[in-house]
Amino acid sequence: MSNFDERPLTVSRWALLGAFLLGASVPLAFAPFEVFPLAVLAPALWFLLLRDTAPAVALRRGFAFGLGMFGAGVSWVYISIHYFGHSPLPAALGVMLLLVAYMSVFPAALAYVGARRRVHGARVFLLLLPAGWALAEWLRSWLFTGFAWLNLGYTQIDSPLAGYAPVLGVYGVSWLTALSAGLLAWALSTAGRARWLGPVLLALLWLGGAQLKHYAWTQVAGAPLRVSLIQGNIPQDEKWDPAQQVATLEKYLNLTRGEWSEQGRERLDLVIWPETAIPAFQHQVADNFLAPLTEEARRVGTDLLTGIPVLDRERWEYYNAVIGIGQDEGAYYKHHLVPFGEYLPLRKILGTLLQVMPLPVADFSAGKLGQPLVRAAGYPVGISICYEIIFGEEIIAQLPQAAFLVNVSNDAWFGDSLAPHQHLEMARMRALETGRYLLRATNTGITAIIGPDGTLRERGPQFETTVVRGSIEPRKGSTPYVRWGNWPVVIGATLVVPVAVFRRARPH
């Protein structure tokens, strides 16, 4: 009798472990592994584990799935905090675990709602779970300043579902990826017409995406531009060392002069240096470095964009910025700052706890949204710095005016982890959503030129000093996503979830 009583508990534990392992397999669908079918198969099997469960059981299985997915996918956070932020290992691991637990709340809540409202069959597989997943990702992108990492749609950047990205954005692709999982789960869990209808609908969904991939949403707006992206590969522990400042500046200058003096090539239009490539405030190097660099750039007819900290000495605020040098000049101040990296939330309460950026005095200040676009190589440019590239709704605020996109970053903070590959994958999605070339210059990699279809046109190696060269075309026009943003997906998911959980009262 005791063995009989223990059996349900044993099954439940195995199911909990299964949910965790399924979640842990999902990061294999993201870069650098890119096994994109896992983003459909793993959630489909997790959906089946939620079938006909009590609310408490569903909650635990949803949380376990999240722990596996985010624990495996964002474990690199402790590297940034511990190895480069110099926080004690227990504190770094604690922050990472808190972040993973927070992100796991979203799939747990979704699973709980379905079980609590007793949503079954097609309603749970085709309505609640897919729409709820997309809505949860969107909520996660802005709650508490937002952490829009590991959105399911990014896994499909090379799959047929990528065709929907210029129309619906990454959250729409996430919805369709989860819907694909729901169709598979529905077909596996029911008899009758679902056995064949589910695969038929799945095939139609993916064929539709494949057809959309052939459609050009934007048009060429000018002659090709020759660009060079400089990857200085400055170690993070040397980057802000005053003794290394001259060597760093000379390295970038010599690499750039090599591009200007190269014989047998057409004129170079644009050079881009990474985030904070100049490890000093703008006013500190204005006369002895920036002024002669500007004259030299004008003489050879090339514009240059570089990351640099800028100090406003009237307000005593400093910014993470990109400035233009050469024929066109201007500045972009980073708007979406990294919490605990570029500023400390609740500073009055937390003091200096976990402040990891090795810059003096105070937090970075945020630039305004909707800043005038910087011009480079004769065109307005949509600029983003590091973390900002993961927020599609902020990138499209610079469109359709921007002829191409530029993202500068210092992914040395991530070390040799999954994060630089995931970061590049998200940049590829921004190019695809907007129908624009995207130039990504980073300190240690991954520096790349991305086409308006999201494909990698040129890519440099990690942790090497290199120059990535190529040609791009300025483009004009708007994709549906640029015009509508995330609102079609958000409104649609917000309407679908209540429809899925609503149950008509039966007459007595």
Instruction: Give the residue numbers annotated as catalytic, written as ranges.
Output: 275, 334, 386
- DSSP, residue by residue, 426-466: HHHHHHHHHT--EEEEESSS--EEE-TTS-EEEEPPTTS-E
In 50-164, which residue ranges form alpha helices assigned H by DSSP? 55-73, 77-79, 89-116, 121-122, 129-140
Nearest to 128 by CA among 116, 145, 110: 110
Note whether 437 and 454 are within 8 A (CB): no
* HEC per residue, 264-293: CCCCCCEEECCCCCCCCCHHHHHHHHHHHH
CB 83 within 8 A of CB 465: no
| Residue 415 region by backbone torsions, left for phi larger than 0, else alpha for psi between -120 and 50, else beta | left
CB atoms within 10 A of CB 196: 10
State the DSSP code for 195: H
Strands 330-333 and 438-442: unpaired
Q: Which tokens is 99 given?
A: 């972040």
The owner of tokens 């099997």 is 45
Nearest to 177 by CA among 146, 213, 136, 131: 131
